[in-house]
Amino acid sequence: MTVKQKIQISLFGNKMFEAYKLDTFLSAFTDGVPHFTGIDSNISKWETSRIEQKLINDKFLNAHYNDLIITADGKLHLAKGGYMFQVQQALLLPVSFWLSILAAIISIISFIRSFYYH
């Protein structure tokens, strides 16, 4: 885990940590070779199963006999930033919206004041 990822997880919380686990698991398949499972014996069997099912449901992994293989959609998803990018965008969107509203209000007030205070 990089420093940037640690900072993102500390800022965005459990959602970002879940996204990190999904991205890490999916990135183990980027070589295009079928694997029996993702990675990490540190992850419990039920959590591995849950992550696999999520990635299969999102069509980022395909079952290939008893193995799993990444799909083209899965590779594109990782290239676009993966789940971590999606979580970051979803959490920052309301902040950027309210900042733009605040900036619009300030600019309108400044415009109106320019007529009264030459």
Average the pLDDT over 36-51 and give the result.
Answer: 73
Whole-number pLDDT of residue 18: 86
Q: What is the predicted pLDDT for the residue at 72?
A: 92
CA distances from 80 to 61, 76, 97, 116 (A): 16, 6, 22, 49
Q: Determine the 3-state secondary structure of 116 from DSSP.
A: helix
pLDDT-based confidence at residue 118 (cuts at 50, 70, 90): low
User: How many angstroms separate the CA atoms of 44 and 40, rounded?
Assistant: 9
Q: Return phi, psi of residue 47, to 5°.
A: -70, -40
**pLDDT class of 13 with cuts at 50, 70, 90:** confident
The 3-state DSSP composition of the chain as helix, strand, coil percent (nearest 5) reads: 70, 10, 25
Q: What pTM does this model have?
A: 0.71
Dump pLDDT digits (tens) for 73-96: 999 999 999 998 998 888 888 889
CATH number of 3-84: 1.10.10
58: helix, strand or coil: coil
* Residue 40: band (very low, low, confident or very high) from pLDDT cuts 50, 70, 90: low
Q: Report, as an integer, the average pLDDT of 39-44.
A: 64
CA pair distance 96, 102, nearest whole angstrom: 10
